Amino acid sequence: MAAVSESETKILDPHIPSGEQLIEAYSGDEKTVAVTDRRVIELRHRNRNRKEETELYSTLLTTDYIVGTKYEREQESDFPVIEALIAAILAVIGIAGVAIGINGEPIGMVVGVVFLALTGAVFYFTEQSESGDVSITVRRAGDLPNGTWTLPHGETDVPQAISEQVAKLNRP
């Protein structure tokens, strides 16, 4: 069981009755998703112009209508095109400077080496950016609507806790 931060506990405390145990939580700017030993809580909170809005959605995990979960994690990597283009231009200038330096111009060699070093630095510090959300769906039997929660990239603790609780509560 992972630790839930003090700020998340403070947000959720008024909505969790005594005897119910908080297992895992995610808290973003406007949304908190938490898993207890009995349910999933989605709490939307907004502060706008001296007005505070709070909406709470709760999905019970202990009913016979829960038939399973569906976990999805998308991960895309974007190649850093602009950084590669800048590095290519720096490399061309660096190679030209080294070529001029070989032909007798010492300043050309220095400029060429500096630009080649900059090329290496650009490639070294360039990272592929990753995107993709994590979502979990609690599937329900019959015509009952499924419950789906989507969290930002890398936030896998809450979806995993939901899946574990559904499996634990619906053992044969």
Let me know whether 98 and 150 are in one domain.
Answer: no
Is residue 1 included in any domain, yes or no? no
Let me know whether 113 and 66 are in one domain.
Answer: no
Cβ atoms 94, 41 nearer than 8 A: no
Residues 119 and 167: their CA atoms lie apart, in Å, by: 52
Q: What is the pLDDT of residues 71-126, one digit of tens each?
A: 887 666 667 788 888 989 999 999 999 999 888 888 889 999 999 999 988 888 87
Mean per-residue pLDDT over the chain, rounded: 84
Sheet hosting strand 39-48, strand order edge to edge: 22-27, 31-36, 39-48, 51-60
Q: What is the pLDDT of residues 14-39, one digit of tens each?
A: 888 888 888 998 888 888 899 999 99
Let me know whether 67 and 140 are in one domain.
Answer: yes
Number of domains in the chain: 2
Let me know whether 13 and 69 are in one domain.
Answer: yes
pLDDT of residue 15: 82
Domain that holds residue 100: 80-127
Let me know whether 99 and 17 are in one domain.
Answer: no
